[in-house]
Amino acid sequence: MSRMITILCCALCFLVGSAQQTHAIETKAALEKLQWRIVVAAYSYRNFTFYETVDKLADLGADAIYGFNFQKIGGGLEGTLNPATMSDDAIAQVKKTLDEKKLQLVALYYGSFPTDETECRKVFERSKMLGIQYFVSEPKPEQLPMLDKLAQEFGMVVGLHGHDKNASPNTWHPALVAKECAKYSPAIGAFNDTGHWIRSGLNPSDGVQTLKGRTVGFDLHDLNPAGSDVPLGSGVGNLSDMLEVLAVVNPNPILIGIEYTSNPENPTPDVQKSIEFLEKEAVRIASAPPRKILPQKKPGFYVGAASCNITPDRPVSLSGQFHTRISQGVITPVEANIVALEWVDAEGKQDYAIIISMDTCAIRHEFNLAFRKAFRETFPELDGEKLILTATHTHTAPGINADDHYRINQDGVMAPSEYVQICIERMIPAVKKAWESRSEGKFAYGLEHAVVAYNRRAIYADGTAVMYGKTNDPNFRAIEGVEDHDVGSIFFWGADDKLAAVLINVACPSQENEGAYKIDADFWAPVRESLKKEWGNDVVVLGLCGAAGDMSPHIRFRVQAEERMRTLRKLGRTQELARRIVRAVEDTWDVVAQTRETPKCVRTLYKEIDLPERKLTKSDYDFAIAEAERLEKIAAESPDGGASGAFTQAKWRRRVAARWEKLKENPNPIYPTCIRVVRIGDIVLCTNQFELYTDFGIQMKARSKAAQTFVVQLCDGVIGSATYLPSQRAVEGGGYGAIPPSNMVGPEGGQILVEETLKMVDALFAK
C-alpha cells in the first residue's frame, strides 16, 4: 500500500509540475505578445535596504526590479541607489549582485534631474552602467527638451510620473501628460500611477485611452474605498478593464510596475497575489479577440485643442484677387487652429464636433476633397459630417485652389496643389493632437460689440450700388445694408482648469491688407498675439468669420477722424482692428469667466440641401461672352499672359456663359450645398459655405431659439464655394458681389438657406 501511495504522490507531483510549466509557458507567450513586462517596485519594500529588497524579490522568483534613488543600498555599501553619487566600485558590486540573483534593475525613480546638462548626462551615463532602461520622474517642463535629447542618445526612456493635482500640477492628469509627450520623441512617455489617478477621481481606463501609445510604464495600484493599497484586481480601480483598453490603444512595450504601499514590513504575500493577477490577465487578454474601444465612457464634456503653422517656405500665389500675386516674404505666419468637443451622456451615447479655422481666403473644393480624404484615412471611426472647416478670409494667404486658377509665370513658385499637401501633412497631426488630448472641460460664452466691419456697398442717386463706391461723391445717398458689430466669444477650459481655446465670431473678413504681396494672417495675427500674452501661448484662438458678404474692414466714411485716432494710438490698421476685437473679448471674459459650466449637451446636425441657382437671362449670357472675349484678347496680347487680371476675369465670365448653356438641358438648375448646426449647451453655431450677406445672418440670429447664435460662413468648400450670396436689395443695386458672375445662388436661395438652418436649430432645441 505504501508503495502505491508513493507512486500516486509522484504522479501528482509530476502533474502539478507539468501544469505549472504549462502556465509559465502560456504566461511568457502572453506577456511577449502584449509586450508587457512585470516588474516589482522596490518602493514596496521601502523599509528595507536595496540589497534586502533584492534578496526578497529573488526568493519571490521575480526577474526585474524597479528601484528608487533614495533607498539605502545596504550590503556594506554606503549611500543611496543614486548612480550620480555612487562610486564605480559600488556600481560594479550592485551589478554583480543583481547578476548573481538573476535580477535586472530595469527602471529607477529619479524624482528631480539636475538642470545642468553636464550633470544630467552624468546621471544617464552612470545609470546605463547599472543596466537601467527607464527613468521615472517629475521633471520641470523646461527640462524636457534636454531629457528628450539625452534619452535618445543613451537609448533610454524618461517616464513622466504624477501625484495629485497640488503636488504635480504638470503631470497629475493624463491629458496634461499626453499634451507634453506629443511635443517630444517616444523617449518621453507616461509612467502612470493608478493610485493617484483613482484618488483624483480619474478612471484608469480613460487615462490609458487618453494617452494612447505614449504610456511606457505604470506604478500600478489598486485601492480599497478608503484609498489604501490592496492586491491588484481586488479594489475599486477596475484594472481588468484598464488592461483590456491598454492592450488595444498601446501596442508598444510597457513596463508594469507593482508598487504596493500597504504593509511595508511584509508586502511579499500581496505582491505575489498582484503578480498572479497580472499573469492571469495577460493570458486572458492575449487569447481573447481584441476589445472594441469606444470613446470616453464617463459621462461629461471633453475638450481638446491644437494649432499648427501652415506658412510655406517658398513663394506661392496669394488668393483673393483677380490678378496674380506671388508672395514676397512673410509678415505674420498663417495658421490652422482646431478645437475638438465631445459630449457623452449618462447612457454612453456620444456626439462631437471638430472645428478648424484656417487662415486662408476660402475653403476651396480641391482642398476640401483632399483634406477630408486624409481625415477619413486617419480617423476611420469618426464621422466627417461632424468636421467643420472654415476660412478667416484673409487675402494674403497661399491659394488652395486649382493649379490653373492664376497665370503663374515665375520659376520657383510652389503650386497650389503642393501647398495643399503641405497643409494636410501639418493639419492632420494637429487634428489628431486636438482629438486625442480631449479632457474633461467646461465652457462659457458671451457677447460684446466692436466696430470692425463696415458695409462696403454704396448706393447712389440713380439707385445703383457699387462695392467700395466713393462716399464723398455728390450722388452718394446711403450705405446699402445693415452692419453687424457682434463679437461673440466661446471659452473652453480643459481638465487642468486652464483656458484651452477661445472661439471668436466676428462678421468681418480678415482682408484689411488684401492687396499686399506678403503672407499675412491680417488682423487675426495680432488678435492671437494679444490674447496669448494675456492667457498663455498654449491657448488656441479660432477666428470665425460671421455672415459678412457685404462687409469689409475698410473704412467707408469718417476716414480722417478714424485715422487720426489710430495715428494717436500709434497703431497699424490691423493692430487697431485687433485692439477692438481683443477689448471686446476681454470685456466678455471679465463678465462670463466665472460662469463656466459643463454644457447640457453637444449635438451636431448635418444636412445637404439643394438651393435654386440664380436665374440668368440672355443678356447676362451675351454680356458674359462679350466680356470673356475682350479679356481673353487682352490676356493673349499681354506680356504676362493676363496675370495682371485678365486671365482670371475671363474665366470668371466664362463660367456664367457655361451656366447659361446648361439651361437648355435643365431650365431649373439646383446648387447642392450643406449646413452644419452645432449645439453646445444653450448656444448654437450655424455654418454655410458662402460669402453670405449680413441680412441673412441677422435673420438667423434674430429668429434662433438659442441663447446666443454664432453664424459662420466660408465653410466646407464645394464646387463654386465662396461665391457671394446677396440680399434682394443688393441684386437690385447691382455691382460686384451682386451680379451673376459673383453669385451661384440668389436671394431666394438665401432665404431657403435661412429657413433650413432655423429648422435644424429648432430640432436641436425640441424637447
Mind listing the pLDDT tens digit for each residue in 473-494? 999 999 999 999 999 999 999 9
| pLDDT at 719 exceeding the cut of 80 | no
- 125-140 per-position pLDDT tens digit: 999 999 999 999 999 9
Question: What is the per-residue pLDDT for 587?
Answer: 98
- DSSP-derived 3-state class of residue 721: coil
For residue 15, what pLDDT band results from cuts at 50, 70 and 90? very low
Q: Who has greater pLDDT, 245 or 20?
A: 245
Burial (0-12, 13-18, 19+ Cβ within 10 Å), 668: exposed
Reference 435, options 382, 388, 389; nearest CA is 382
**Can you tell me the distance from the alpha carbon of 113 to that of 115, in angstroms, rounded to the nearest whole number?**
6
| pLDDT at 594 exceeding the cut of 50 | yes
Give the CA angle between residues 569, 574, 578 to the nearest 5°. Answer: 80
CA distances from 128 to 51, 246, 326, 387 (A): 19, 28, 54, 47
- 452-467 per-position pLDDT tens digit: 999 999 999 999 999 9
The whole-angstrom distance between residue 493's C-alpha and the CA centroid of its chain comes to 14
Question: What is the per-residue pLDDT for 299?
Answer: 86
Q: Who has greater pLDDT, 713 or 1?
A: 713
Residues facing 610 on adjacent strands: 672
The whole-angstrom distance between residue 672's C-alpha and the CA centroid of its chain comes to 29
Question: What is the per-residue pLDDT for 346?
Answer: 75
Give the predicted TM-score (pTM) of the model. 0.65
**Can you tell me the distance from the alpha carbon of 115 to that of 539, in angstroms, rounded to the nearest whole number?**
27
Q: Are 398 and 366 in contact (CB under 8 A)?
A: no
Q: How many CA atoms lie within 13 A of 101 on its CB side?
A: 25
Torsion angle of the four alpha carbons 106, 36, 212, 171, in this order, in degrees rounded to the nearest 10: -30
**Can you tell me the distance from the alpha carbon of 653 to that of 230, in angstroms, rounded to the nearest whole number?**
77
- 290-339 per-position pLDDT tens digit: 776 655 557 899 999 999 999 999 999 999 999 999 999 999 999 999 99
**Can you tell me the distance from the alpha carbon of 145 to that of 272, in angstroms, rounded to the nearest whole number?**
39
| pLDDT at 724 exceeding the cut of 70 | yes
Q: Residue 115: CB partners within 8 Å, gap ≥ 6?
A: 140, 143
Reference 27, options 227, 286, 243; nearest CA is 286
Matching residue, cell 484677387: 321
